[in-house]
Amino acid sequence: MKILSFILTFLILSSCDDSKNSIHTQTKIDLELVDNIYIKKRLNETDSIRLTNEQTELFVKEWNNAKSEGLYKMGPEFWIILKLKNDSIRKFRTNRNLIKEKNDWTYSLSDSTLVSSFWKPKYPFAKPENYDPISFLKEVSSNLKTEKDTLRIGMTMIGDFPLDWVKVEHIEYLIRSLESKEICGCYLNPFSSYIPTDNFAEKGGYAGIFIKAYKEKQKVELGLYSCPKVDEKLNAELTKWWKERK
């Protein structure tokens, strides 16, 4: 009886130990092959923040050095969406220091605050790479819902827009927004000496600028401040171009 108990105890302890020894091969990330990485609170929501180059390097390093923890059930706090240069997508679910990819096999990162810090940047002003066109429009249109004679500064942002900031998957949403005269806050660079306190932007105005930049393969340029309005002539041109392209 004692021998049987010893064997059972040994098997249980061995099983617990083996549960952390990965039977799944972790797929490392080659930083050179990464196009971009976004963080989301929920997978199916459009709100997202694009990681900076420094944040991208940190995430790749943490994942590649993550420790196998075995099978583990957890509710995701954040989703990390990684796009490679060959257009393939990898999706990670995270909760504090725990992270998993394809199934419930879980790994642990060395820094339990790393992923959440991506969602709440430490610098005082927003940067273009922390938004995409859709989340930008939602931000400027949700910040200020007041009368036209009230102060409107919807987005104070510093830095240049990446060349590939507007992507093909954003165009349908932007096309649908072209005619929108929903009042939005203006764009403002903190280096601007002028603050457009008596002005406002329109959602369709921003949408037209974003689509035009994509069409012409140019960076989005908003200058030191911008309060764009719906441009009917530009909208007709962009709508025709998109229909012909489709």
Q: pLDDT tens, 65-100?
A: 999 999 988 889 999 999 998 989 999 999 999 999
Percent of the chain clearing pLDDT 90 (strictly above) = 54
CB atoms under 10 Å from CB of 26, counted, come to: 13
CATH of the domain at 28: 3.30.1490
pLDDT band, very low/low/confident/very high, at 33 (cuts 50, 70, 90):
very high
Shared-domain flag, residues 173 and 202: yes
Question: What would the two tokens of residue 154 be?
Answer: 């919807």
Shared-domain flag, residues 171 and 237: yes
Q: pLDDT tens, 121-141?
A: 555 678 898 889 998 998 887
The reply to whether 2 falls in a domain is no
Q: What is the mean pLDDT of the chain?
A: 84
The reply to whether 53 falls in a domain is yes
Q: Is the pLDDT of residue 173 over 90?
A: yes
Question: What would the two tokens of residue 82 be?
Answer: 């990684």
Per mean pLDDT, which range of 10-24, 34-48, 187-201 is the poorest? Answer: 10-24
Shared-domain flag, residues 102 and 172: no
The reply to whether 14 falls in a domain is no
Determine the pLDDT at residue 57: 93
Provide the residue type at 54 as one letter.
E
Q: Which residue has the higher pLDDT, 55 or 207?
A: 207
pTM of the model as a whole: 0.53
Provide the residue type at 53 as one letter.
N
Q: Is the pLDDT of residue 146 over 60?
A: no
The reply to whether 197 falls in a domain is yes
Shared-domain flag, residues 74 and 163: no
In whole angstroms, give the CA distance from residue 219 to residue 52.
Answer: 17
Shared-domain flag, residues 192 and 136: yes
Shared-domain flag, residues 36 and 86: yes
| Angle (nearest 5°) at CA 40 between 127 and 59 | 75
Which residue carries 């180059």 as its tokens? 53
The reply to whether 16 falls in a domain is no
Shared-domain flag, residues 112 and 144: no
| Beta bridge partner(s), residue 37 | 82
Which of these three, 85, 119, 153, is where a domain ends? 119
Question: What would the two tokens of residue 133 be?
Answer: 């066109």
The reply to whether 9 falls in a domain is no
Q: Is the pLDDT of residue 46 over 90?
A: no
Determine the pLDDT at residue 13: 43
The reply to whether 8 falls in a domain is no
Determine the pLDDT at residue 8: 46
- Of the candidates 47, 58, 76, the one whose C-alpha atom is nearest the C-alpha of residue 117 is 58
CB < 8 Å & 24+ apart, contacts of 142-149: 143/185, 144/183, 144/184, 144/185, 145/183, 148/183, 148/200, 149/198
Q: What is the domain extent for residue 89?
A: 24-119
Q: Is the pLDDT of residue 222 over 70?
A: yes
- Average pLDDT for residues 6-10, to the nearest whole number? 45
How many domains, in total, are found in the chain? 2
3 state DSSP class of 6: helix
| Angle (nearest 5°) at CA 220 between 214 and 223 | 160
